[in-house]
Amino acid sequence: MNLLVVDDDSVVRMSMRTLLTSEGHSVCTAADGEDALAKLASHTFDMIISDVYMPNMDGVRLRNVVREIPDKRSLPFLFISGYDDQSTIDMIRNPKLEGFFKKGRPLSELLSWITYLTTPEHKRSTFPPTLTRDLASDQQHGRVQRGSSRVPLL
């Protein structure tokens, strides 16, 4: 899989390249949204993995611009960030959030997101990887928990 990793932190770019290459992916990196657009113009990618907060052009603006490019508009897009506070989530949800990976989470979770977002929608599991990871159900008592936190049911 050809991946474009966009992050203003060179350590993150190098780490992601090393990890994803070791998993068999081809990885190209960009330092911000403007750099990513230049790479998109001259290369073909299967997916974009982008930091949210970057100088020059942030990840949200990058996604919005990519969605306006006819042959790139359906390219899977995964946001990554060291922040997972409500304001960050609200910012990237507009328009529809495709995927979000918090930096520092296990590599297996990132790989699950890559598989999920690059699988055709009609073949995907019902829920994205992070929504079902670490869930435990207690059918006898009608409860669901994530770790030590109870998940409210409707």
* pLDDT, tens digit (0-9, with 9 covering 90-100), for 78-118: 999 887 777 767 766 655 668 888 888 888 889 989 998 99
Residue 15: pLDDT band (50, 70, 90) is very high
User: Highest mean pLDDT range out of 23-27, 105-109, 121-125, 143-147?
Assistant: 23-27
- Structural domains in the chain, sorted by start: 2-124 (3.40.50.2300)
Handedness of CA 101, 107, 111, 116 (dihedral sign): negative
Q: Is the pLDDT of residue 58 over 90?
A: yes
